[in-house]
Amino acid sequence: MRSADEIVEACEQLYDDLDFAQARAWKAAKPGRKVIGFMPVYVPREIIHAAGMLPLGVLGGGDSLEVIHGDAYYQSYICRIPRSTVELAISKRLDFVDGMLFPSICDVIRNLSGMWKMMLPDVYVRYFDVPQNYKDDIGGTYYIEELKELKAGLERLAGREITEDALNASIEVYNENRRAVKRVYDYRAGQPWKAPAWEVYLLMRAGMLLPVEEHTALIDEYLVACAEADRPMRDNCRIIMQGSFCEQPPLALIKSIELSGCYIVDDDYMLVNRWLLEDVPTDGDPIANLAEAFLKHSTETAAKYEPCGERKGKYLVDAVKDRGAEGVIFAAPSFCDPALLDRPMLANALSKASVPHISFKYAENSGQMQPIREQAGTFADTIKLWSEP
């Protein structure tokens, strides 16, 4: 059995590999296999899985990719994830990807779907829209048809039908994965010194690259290893990271937050792993069940409309209570419309609930962590010194 350090090291190797060797190997292992890339923030991976394909999370180039061509596609005031994603495509690092899904998250990712169509006309490209109306007979009806269109597109690409049985089986596989993800998040919230945030982050990133069954097993292996690891508890404060759901922070940033004296007890880094909050039924009409899960049991984030003004930000205040957090750090990518436009409303909700919060911005290739460490450290000290017990 591997130790927690060995598991995390394996995850970090996956994270560092911008040539996606693991996914290439998966594809090459059997003739006819196909890989479908997707960007943040949510796609129904169950349908891809049921088509016998590998869903591959494409989350930009991180801090190690030198963006040479991608910058020629974007103005300076546009975030970094689209330019590094274009770089991945132009540098042929994604040349094994048979299709790309661009979820409804913001105008930049939305427009990137059209650019992808123009850059790679032979690749299956779909802008994956989701309803902002959550009523069954309005948004639900629309979403079911969108899911059917996605399914039909993947069937054409796969050259075979995606049966209801296959879909229900895939839903069960992803239910198991979501349960495992929930276990690790709950475990970390309970004993954050045992499961450091940067390790959990790498574990979640591995889920973007590995077949889901392997990822679930990996999480369970990690939890067992963590329980056995001897890791001392520190006098850190407990905070939630918020606003990093699309362009990802560099790993050094997550480490810096912890080094500055903050335990991260919740985050929104890899929302696709945690989008659906409850098990999706595995009998009946799987498309209708996926739609129902999205409408009624999905996470709240800036890319979704909140129909009830009084509820705006409530999910974050609730998370603070549920996780026993003492503060929130808003960490959004520069020029990220969803996160930055949402932030004042969330900050208001926190202030009304007397939850301390700070904010800063980053880019996926931010290199200088000292200011962030100082800001987070001061925040942690403030909480420790001045917050009421």
Partner 1 sequence: MSAEMQDDVIKEPSMLKQKAMIADNYEQLTSAPETGRKVAATYVPGNLNELIMCFDMLNNLPEINAIQNGMRKKSGRMIQDAEKMGHSEDVCTYVKADIGNMAKGAIAPNGKPMPVPDLLLLSYTGCFTFMKWFELLRDEYGCKTAMLHVPYTGDGIITDNMRDYVVKQLKEEVIPAMEEVSGVKFDIDRLRENLKRSAEAEDDFVWVLQSAKSKPSPIDAYFGGVYYIGPIFTAFRGTQDAVDYYKILRGEIEARLANGQGPITPEGELKEERYRLVVEGPPNWTSFRDFWKMFHEEGAVVVASTYTKVGGVYDYDGFRHDPDRPLESLAEYCLGCYTNRNLPARVDMIESYMNDYQADGFLVNSIKSCNSFSAGQLMMMREIETRTGKPAAFIETDLVDPRYFSPANVKNRLESYFQMIEQKRKGGGPAKAA
* 347 contacts partner 1 (rule: CB under 8 A): yes
What single-letter amino acid sits at 111?
N
Name which of 204, 228, 235 is nearest 218 in CA terms.
Answer: 204
d(CA 381, CA 105): 35
* 362 contacts partner 1 (rule: CB under 8 A): no
Residues 103 and 130: beta-carbon distance below 8 Å: yes
* 68 contacts partner 1 (rule: CB under 8 A): no
Binding part of the chain for partner 1, among 34-42, 181-189, 298-306, 363-371 by CB under 8 A, reads 298-306
Please state at what angle helix 4-16 crosses helix 212-228, rounded to 10 degrees.
140
Q: Which 80-99 positions form the footprint of partner 1 (CB under 8 A)?
A: 82
Nearest 10 degrees: CA dihedral of 360, 365, 371, 373?
90
CB of 340 to partner 1, least distance (A): 4
* 111 contacts partner 1 (rule: CB under 8 A): yes
Q: Which residues contact 2 (CB under 8 A, 6 or more apart)?
A: 10, 221, 225
* 366 contacts partner 1 (rule: CB under 8 A): no
Q: How many residues bind partner 1 (CB under 8 A)?
A: 58
CB of 160 to partner 1, least distance (A): 23
* 110 contacts partner 1 (rule: CB under 8 A): yes
Name which of 66, 6, 7 is nearest 220 in CA terms.
Answer: 7
Residue whose CB is less far from partner 1, 103 or 196: 103
Count of beta carbons in the 10 Å neighbourhood of residue 324? 11
Binding part of the chain for partner 1, among 104-112, 266-274, 284-292, 379-387 by CB under 8 A, reads 104-112
Residue whose CB is less far from partner 1, 105 or 212: 105
Q: Which two tokens stand for residue 369?
A: 């962590």
Residues 247 and 80: beta-carbon distance below 8 Å: yes
Binder among 72, 152, 233, 277 for partner 1 (CB under 8 A): 72
d(CA 79, CA 84): 10
* 137 contacts partner 1 (rule: CB under 8 A): yes
* 315 contacts partner 1 (rule: CB under 8 A): no
CB of 120 to partner 1, least distance (A): 12
d(CA 15, CA 8): 10
* 141 contacts partner 1 (rule: CB under 8 A): yes
User: Could you give the strand order of the β-sheet that contains 237-242, starting from the edge strand earlier in sequence?
Assistant: 262-266, 237-242, 327-333, 357-362
CA distances from 387 to 252, 272, 384 (A): 28, 34, 6
Binding part of the chain for partner 1, among 196-204, 229-237, 268-276, 301-309 by CB under 8 A, reads 301-309
* 348 contacts partner 1 (rule: CB under 8 A): yes
* 236 contacts partner 1 (rule: CB under 8 A): no
CB of 251 to partner 1, least distance (A): 23
CB of 185 to partner 1, least distance (A): 27
* 254 contacts partner 1 (rule: CB under 8 A): no
d(CA 169, CA 175): 10
Give residues in contact with partner 1 (CB under 8 A). Answer: 72-75, 77-78, 82, 102, 104-108, 110-115, 117-119, 126-127, 129, 131-133, 135, 137-139, 141-142, 145-146, 149, 302, 305-307, 309, 312, 332, 334-338, 340-345, 347-348, 361
